[in-house]
């Protein structure tokens, strides 16, 4: 569902994870659900995460972008921001997702931008704005993640 793009992480973040044996850009360019839905992460830091998703292949029976697809994009972006905020010693686990759908989209690409509302020691909350190609708001979402201590770089 489209070409793979390289994720734009700050170099110090890439280096920090590389020291633990984790290829951070590869981690966020893969994933079964995201790949099936065509989600692409194009920018990622604790301050801002940007991703895109095609409408085609992610519609409900009326031909509109499925609300669940918007939720997947929102949770993906907010989780990445939360994980980057928590750093290598924490894993981010989504505990609350709220989505308000403002308008239908039938074609093209939607873009989500996640920015922090709260970044604490044990939780992180991100607002995610999803817009269409005309920069019209499609969905507003809010994700709160619990930040748990990681046993290792992948939390295992």
Mean pLDDT, residues 103-111 taken together: 98
CA distances from 79 to 16, 101, 124, 136 (A): 18, 20, 9, 24
Taking only the tens place, the pLDDT of each residue in 49-80 is 999 999 999 999 999 999 999 999 999 999 99
* H helix intervals, 41-110: 67-86
- In whole angstroms, what is the distance from residue 93 CA to residue 152 CA? 15
The larger pLDDT score, comparing residue 33 to residue 85, is at: 85
Give the SS3 label for residue 47.
Answer: coil
Contacts of the segment 57-60: beta carbons below 8 A, 24+ positions apart: 57/1, 59/106
**Tokens 């308008």 sit on residue:** 103
Residues taking part in catalysis: 75
pTM of the model: 0.85
**Confidence (pLDDT) at 20:** 78
What's the DSSP call for residue 66?
P
**Confidence (pLDDT) at 1:** 40
Taking only the tens place, the pLDDT of each residue in 78-88 is 999 999 999 98
Both structure tokens of 144? 């709160």
Q: Which of 13-22, 26-35, 38-47 has the lowest mean pLDDT?
A: 26-35
């Amino acid at each position: 569902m489209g070409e793979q793009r390289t994720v734009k992480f700050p170099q110090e973040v890439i280096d920090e994870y590389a020291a633990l044996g984790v290829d951070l850009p590869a981690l966020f360019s893969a994933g079964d659900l995201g790949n099936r839905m065509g989600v692409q992460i194009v920018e990622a830091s604790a301050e801002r995460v940007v991703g895109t998703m095609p409408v085609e292949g992610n519609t409900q029976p009326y031909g509109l972008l499925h609300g669940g697809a918007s939720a997947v994009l929102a949770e993906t972006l907010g989780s990445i921001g939360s994980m980057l905020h928590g750093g290598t010693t924490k894993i981010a686990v989504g505990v609350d997702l709220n989505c308000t759908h403002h308008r239908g989209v039938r074609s093209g690409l939607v873009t989500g931008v996640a920015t922090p509302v709260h970044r604490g020691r044990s939780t992180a909350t991100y607002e995610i704005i999803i817009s269409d190609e005309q920069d019209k708001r499609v969905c507003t979402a809010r994700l709160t993640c619990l930040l748990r201590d990681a046993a290792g770089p992948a939390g295992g």
